[in-house]
Amino acid sequence: MGNEAAKKETILASASVRVTVWNEHTDQQRNGAVAEVYPHGLHTAIAEGLHDLLGGQATVATATLDQPDQGLPQALLDNTDVLLWWGHKAHHQVTDDTVARVQARVLAGMGLVVLHSGHLSKIFVRLMGTSCNLRWRKANDRELVWTVHPAHPIAQGVSHPIDIPQQEMYGEFFDIPRPDELVFVSSFTGGEVFRSGCCFTRGNGRIFYFSPGDELYPVYYHPEIRRVLANAVLWAHNPAPSLTITAVSPQSPNDWYLDRPSMSSS
């Protein structure tokens, strides 16, 4: 684990977070109603928000499904600290190989922020182990996002509640494992409630699911929503070395300490 000097350095270092915003960005997004709201794609709007709020704390790139390796080659993942995921109609086009690559990086320590309809993305479903189904309705509900964990870093600096004038309704029961931390709960015009901001840890990776956001409403321009996403990026960033779990232990209980690290950095 190195010497004292190295340890101090680790504590003091505050490297810039390398962020990638991934979006399926299919033809359906490039045209028509979606393009009117997000002319350069949802990923661009999300990335701009992060760039504005995080400034020198992060470098923000984007990636889309139509790029080589579905926009997520191993080299990019290896150099991404936090990945944001927006998908909806093209979940099935993401290959199992891509999903496996992303999952491995999350377990090793990459942060993952899953947005809105990404609740049914293959990567989220695989990391959760449940159906991730929920109730929904597209009917111009007003969404109010309430903080139920004000001490959480992701809740800093946002109103209580955040007021989103127009939104798709997402309601309970939301079939996810119990979140490690529940940060936000939303209500809708119809009276439904939803656990809209949920933290999970899987392996060495921190995962945040955030439901507000839609391709037909200008939610990703909302300053409070942008603030939540910026907070989420900083929270999901795990500066520790990648986690490698070693199953091999010393073969006598009396000498385990001779080669002990079961977790090592890559």
Q: Does residue 51 contact residue 61 with C-beta atoms inside 8 Å?
A: no
Least separation in angstroms between CB 19 and its own copies: 14
Least separation in angstroms between CB 68 and its own copies: 27
Does position 59 bind its own copies by CB under 8 A?
Answer: no
State which of residues 32, 39, 165, 177 lies at the interface with its own copies (CB under 8 A). Answer: 177
Q: Which is nearer to its own copies, 4 or 68 (CB)?
A: 4
Q: Which is nearer to its own copies, 41 or 128 (CB)?
A: 128
Does position 239 bind its own copies by CB under 8 A?
Answer: yes
Q: Which is nearer to its own copies, 41 or 183 (CB)?
A: 183
Does position 114 bind its own copies by CB under 8 A?
Answer: no
Structure tokens at 147: 């903080």
- Binding residues for its own copies, total number by CB under 8 A: 100
24: left (phi over 0), alpha (psi -120 to 50) or beta: alpha
State which of residues 68, 252, 258, 266 lies at the interface with its own copies (CB under 8 A). Answer: 252
Instruction: Compute CA 8 distance to the chain's CA centroid, rounded to the nearest angstrom.
Output: 29
Q: Which is nearer to its own copies, 67 or 126 (CB)?
A: 126
Does position 70 bind its own copies by CB under 8 A?
Answer: no
State which of residues 40, 55, 74, 100 lies at the interface with its own copies (CB under 8 A). Answer: 55
State which of residues 22, 86, 188, 210 lies at the interface with its own copies (CB under 8 A). Answer: 188
Per CB under 8 A, the segment of 16-24, 32-40, 87-95, 237-245 that binds its own copies is 237-245
Buried b (16+ CB within 10 A) or exposed e, 63-83: bbbeeeebbbeeebbeebbbb
Does position 66 bind its own copies by CB under 8 A?
Answer: no
Cis bond leading into 173, ω under 30°? yes
Buried b (16+ CB within 10 A) or exposed e, 39-55: eebbbbbbbbbbeebbe
Reference 198, options 217, 216, 215, 211; nearest CA is: 211
Say how far apart CA 122 and CA 93 lie, in whole Å. Answer: 10
Say how far apart CA 22 and CA 43 lie, in whole Å. Answer: 6
Alpha helices for 84-131 (secondary structure H): 96-108, 122-128
Does position 142 bind its own copies by CB under 8 A?
Answer: yes
State which of residues 66, 97, 172, 259 lies at the interface with its own copies (CB under 8 A). Answer: 172
Least separation in angstroms between CB 260 and its own copies: 7
Say how far apart CA 236 and CA 54 lie, in whole Å. Answer: 14
